[in-house]
């Protein structure tokens, strides 16, 4: 990655960062308008799963359970980093992203940054609604679509085209392979394998969310302007303040995106809520509504941590090695 500080992006985007003024009696910093200051780099990596494991009955982990999970994650990362070098073997399904002993296949473990801790609330899932911590049931239409796709993609790796497909079909992760959208940048944002950071810029009239993954900025007006109806990869976002919480509503997606590995539809609508709980923690809460995909709306929450480091440029180019190399490799098989 090119080590270019993202602070220059603020200039390129024409964003003037509003100076922070101290407000007596407040736990969090505020900008000159009196609204909470949400600016900075925020880290959302965690080992807490999106859904509560089926064998986990409790909503929250005990301190001991959380500590054990954290330690197990640290030991796993240490073992993968210090074990003797070996040539990666593709797993039996042909998936180049999975190696032996839990190691990544396509990259070595140095490039991954999944985190080694559960979220600060110690919830057993990121999903907070429904109360069981599970994503709601798929609609019949969505289930059939997924089953049909799984059948035609049997024994096909996640970054490989479905046999007979090409432009519109590069698999469940095709949008990431083509560098159109990042796998965790959303919207909405979800913890992933690496690049779990975003930077917030803020003025009284707009905010900018700049995701590390695929260097994607969302410029979000706060002035109450109506939606245009123009469908985009990242949808169309409008923001407002509800007390000390920044609320951003997004709709008009072009088609399915990276969210839930392409599991949502163009009918997806999301409501993101950003609440700065302390100087170090930003609560990110998302309500997902997609009647084409899920029977009911659902909500997940990620406590994000302030990151003192800058965001570095994320360099993505199609297929990582170019289409020419991909085609050449396919011809050799």
Q: Which residues contact 26 (CB under 8 A, 6 or more apart)?
A: none
pLDDT of the residue at 63: 97
The whole-angstrom separation of Cα 253 and Cα 250 is 8
The whole-angstrom separation of Cα 5 and Cα 18 is 19
Q: What is the pLDDT of residues 102-161, one digit of tens each?
A: 666 666 677 788 899 999 999 999 999 999 999 999 999 999 999 988 888 888 777 777
Q: Residue 332 pLDDT > 60, yes or no? A: yes
pLDDT of the residue at 104: 63
What is the arithmetic mean of pLDDT over 196-204? 95
pLDDT of the residue at 290: 98
pTM of the complete model = 0.84
Q: What is the pLDDT of residues 245-265, one digit of tens each?
A: 999 999 999 998 889 988 899
Q: Which of 202, 203, 279, 198 is nearest to 234 (CA)?
A: 198
Q: Say which range, 166-175, 179-188, 306-315, has the weakest mean pLDDT.
A: 166-175
Element counts in the chain: helices (H) and strands (E): 5, 12
Q: Residue 224 pLDDT > 80, yes or no? A: yes
Q: What is Dmax (Cα atoms) for the chain?
A: 68
Q: Residue 77 pLDDT > 90, yes or no? A: no
Cα separation values, 309 from 7, 16, 43, 116, 332, Å: 11, 20, 10, 18, 43
Judged on CB neighbours under 10 Å (0-12, 13-18, 19+), 80 is middle
Q: Residue 187 pLDDT > 80, yes or no? A: yes
Tokens of 313: 């440029």
State the pLDDT confidence band at 11, using cuts at 50, 70 and 90. Answer: very low
Tokens of 185: 């940048």
Q: Say which range, 15-19, 250-254, 273-277, has the weakest mean pLDDT.
A: 15-19
Structural domains in the chain plus CATH codes: 7-46+126-332 (2.40.128.20), 62-117 (no CATH)
What is the arithmetic mean of pLDDT over 3-27? 40
pLDDT of the residue at 10: 41
Tell me which of 92 and 230 has the higher pLDDT: 230
The whole-angstrom separation of Cα 158 and Cα 81 is 25
Q: Which residues contact 47 (CB under 8 A, 6 or more apart)?
A: 69, 70, 73, 114, 115, 116, 117, 118
Judged on CB neighbours under 10 Å (0-12, 13-18, 19+), 167 is exposed
Q: Say which range, 2-6, 133-137, 212-216, 318-322, has the weakest mean pLDDT.
A: 2-6
pLDDT of the residue at 23: 39
Q: What is the pLDDT of residues 276-321, one digit of tens each?
A: 999 999 999 999 999 999 999 999 999 999 999 999 888 776 655 5
Q: What is the 3-state secondary structure (H, E, C) of 231-244?
A: CECCCEEEEEEECC
Q: Which of 130, 137, 135 is nearest to 59 (CA)?
A: 130
Tell me which of 56 and 94 has the higher pLDDT: 56
State the pLDDT confidence band at 26, using cuts at 50, 70 and 90. Answer: very low
Mean pLDDT score of the chain: 84
pLDDT of the residue at 102: 61
């Amino acid at each position: 990655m090119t080590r270019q500080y993202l602070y220059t992006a603020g200039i390129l985007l024409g964003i003037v960062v509003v100076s922070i003024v101290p407000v007596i009696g407040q736990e969090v910093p505020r900008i000159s308008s009196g609204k909470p200051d949400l600016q900075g780099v925020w880290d959302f990596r965690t080992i807490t799963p999106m859904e509560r494991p089926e064998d986990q009955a409790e909503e929250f982990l005990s301190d001991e359970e959380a500590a054990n999970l954290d330690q197990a994650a640290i030991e796993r990362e240490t073992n993968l980093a210090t074990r003797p070098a070996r040539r990666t073997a593709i797993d039996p399904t042909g998936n180049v992203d999975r190696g032996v002993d839990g190691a990544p296949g396509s990259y070595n473990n140095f490039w991954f940054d999944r985190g080694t801790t559960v979220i600060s609330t110690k919830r057993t899932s990121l999903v907070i609604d429904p109360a069981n911590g599970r994503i709601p049931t798929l609609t019949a239409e969505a289930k059939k679509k997924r089953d049909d796709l799984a059948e035609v993609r049997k024994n096909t790796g996640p970054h490989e085209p479905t046999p007979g497909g090409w432009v519109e079909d590069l698999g469940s992760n095709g949008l990431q392979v083509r560098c159109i959208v990042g796998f965790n940048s959303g919207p909405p944002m979800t913890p992933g394998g690496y690049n779990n950071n975003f930077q917030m810029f803020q003025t009284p009239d707009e905010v900018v969310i700049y995701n590390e993954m695929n260097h994607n900025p969302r410029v979000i007006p706060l002035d109450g302007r109506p939606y245009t109806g123009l469908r985009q990869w990242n949808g169309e976002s409008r923001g407002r303040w509800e007390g000390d919480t920044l609320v951003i509503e997004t709709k008009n997606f072009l088609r399915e995106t990276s969210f839930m590995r392409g599991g949502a539809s163009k009918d997806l609508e999301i409501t993101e809520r950003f609440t700065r709980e302390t100087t170090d923690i930003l609560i990110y809460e998302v309500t997902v509504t997609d009647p084409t995909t899920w029977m009911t709306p659902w909500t997940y929450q990620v406590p994000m941590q302030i990151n003192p480091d800058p965001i570095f440029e994320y360099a993505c180019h199609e297929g990582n090695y170019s289409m020419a190399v991909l085609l050449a490799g396919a011809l050799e098989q």
